Amino acid sequence: DKGLRVADKGYLNTAVLRSEITFIDGEAGILRYRGYPIEQLALKSSHLESAYLLVYGSLPTQNQRKTFETEVMHHSVVHADAAQFFRSFRYDAHPMAILTSAFAYLGSYYSEANPSLKGQTLFTKGTPESLAIMDKQIYRLIGKATTLAAMAYRVRQGREFVIPPTGLSYTASFLYQMDYHGQTNYQPNPVLAKALDILFLLHADHELNASCTTVLQTGSSLVDPFSAIAAGCASLYGPLHGGANEAVIRMLISIESPKNVPAFLEAVKKREKVLSGFGHRVYKTSDPRSFIVRKTADEVFKITGKDELLETAMALHEAAMKDEYFIKRRLAPNVDFCGLIYRAMGFPLDFFPVLFAVPRVVGWLAHWRQMMLQEGGVKIWRPRQMYVGAGQRDYVPVEERE
Ligand code: SDX
């Protein structure tokens, strides 16, 4: 088999490319976007500024930041026809099913985003005009991600859609589209808008997680970036990945109170239950984002009041951290306890993965752009397998089969 090596299950310990975007050290609990520590960015930057950093590789100058933010906000409006697309879903459709479909639907508006169908490998050229067309798709996807999410939220409530307002920041505009229903001079709460912006920033990228790998696997066939992002969104939907923030809350609700934590952990050890919000393929000591989530939660709870699940969450965290079974498996809390903040902010439970997908569009696009512009052009991702099935055998007519 020409020296094929079978990667460990789930790509464990397998690097499939070189990247300059995000650095993670799972032992030291380090996360950096283009070399900048996540702790500094969460404190000093914004989601949209960090988006520029992730996609283009450097912190923007004032002009670059203004142009980028103006373009993204300009492209946050969605074609009016999209209303009928959203209204085609049942009232109880999961918003991640709606969002995943919406990204692919959106691609149908922009044929220039699918150049390879015309036999052009436009995005791999790196010429000023091809870069300008690539940038426009990036502005559209980042800008419209919030609008699509807000439409997925409102369509289930039977509410009219809200045109993105002008003059608000990216995240405040999103909150406005979610919650505006005729109040005069409505403005989203600035503390909550800031807290959500920090959470967006924390979720912007995480190197080759399952959904980012899916975007690159799909994008390697040179399909348009909208379709590749839709594929990534589908992967993020799963409870082992982005769906975990919803699963954490369902888990805490099922535990009900701190007194049930020991029994729950016993069930986890017997693999009858999953301890959502804990464990990570890379972080084996701590997920650096979880500390920032904790601090952000304190700010939010000052406005919203503590979430009654917090006590159970803390009891669970404390018990798991002292339990040999979890210590041996090096399972620390990951980023998905942010669901407690989303719940305190009033988002519906099944909307939590959408709050992960919206900011992660940035990381998916940063890696997609990096792949399009890589040295030597794009190679389609086509791994091999080690065949361990039956040897050659002849067909047997059905009447002779026992
Ligand atoms: C995200 O990849 C990323 O970067 C993802 C993410 C991102 O930003 O993109 O960080 C976002 O998805 C965070 C993770 C959210 N998922 C959850 O919280 C769901 C619960 N966590 C697990 O399902 C699990 O920890 C994974 C899926 C996150 C990681 O799975 P792995 O890599 O297969 O886990 P592992 O191989 O390191 O596990 C080692 C051992 C195994 O036990 P043994 O089979 O060796 O006896 O720990 C066990 C696992 O079964 N284990 C758990 C567990 N997580 C791992 N046991 C109980 N509860 C858990 N949560």
Phi, psi of 135 (to 5 degrees): -55, -40
* Cα–Cα distance, 365 to 367 (Å, whole number): 5
Q: Give alpha helix (H) positions in 16-155.
A: 38-44, 47-56, 62-74, 82-86, 95-107, 128-155
Whether the Cβ atoms of residue 244 and residue 336 lie closer than 8 Å to each other: yes
Q: Is 243 in the pocket of ligand 1 (CB under 6 A)?
A: no
* pLDDT tens string 269-279: 999 999 998 88
Least confident of 3-12, 161-170, 344-353: 3-12
Give the 3-state secondary structure of residue 190.
helix
**HSE, side-chain direction, 13 A CA sphere, residue 329:** 14
pLDDT at 215: 98
Q: Is 320 in the pocket of ligand 1 (CB under 6 A)?
A: no
Query: Mean of the pLDDT values across residues 68-78?
Result: 96
Q: Is the ipTM of this complex over 0.90?
A: no
Beta-carbon contacts of residue 8 (< 8 Å; ≥ 6 apart)? 14
pLDDT at 258: 96
Query: Mean of the pLDDT values across residues 160-178?
Result: 94
* pLDDT tens string 27-69: 999 999 999 999 999 999 999 999 999 999 999 999 999 999 9
Q: What is the mean pLDDT of the chain?
A: 93
The yes-or-no answer on residue 336 being catalytic is yes
Whether the Cβ atoms of residue 370 and residue 19 lie closer than 8 Å to each other: yes
* pLDDT tens string 134-153: 999 999 999 999 999 999 99
Has residue 10 got a pLDDT over 60? yes
- Ligand 1 center–CA 149 separation, angstroms: 27
**What is the maximum alpha-carbon separation in the chain?**
79
Whether the Cβ atoms of residue 225 and residue 141 lie closer than 8 Å to each other: yes
Least confident of 117-126, 151-160, 300-309, 389-398: 117-126
How is residue 399 written in tokens? Answer: 């009447």
pLDDT at 1: 52
189: number of Cβ within 10 Å = 16
Q: Is 31 in the pocket of ligand 1 (CB under 6 A)?
A: no
Residue in the block written with tokens 């361990």: 388
Atom of ligand 1 nearest to the CA of 209: 2
Has residue 189 got a pLDDT over 80? yes
The yes-or-no answer on residue 47 being catalytic is no
CB-based burial of residue 388 (10 Å sphere; 0-12 exposed, 13-18 middle, 19+ buried)? exposed
- Ligand 1 center–CA 332 separation, angstroms: 10
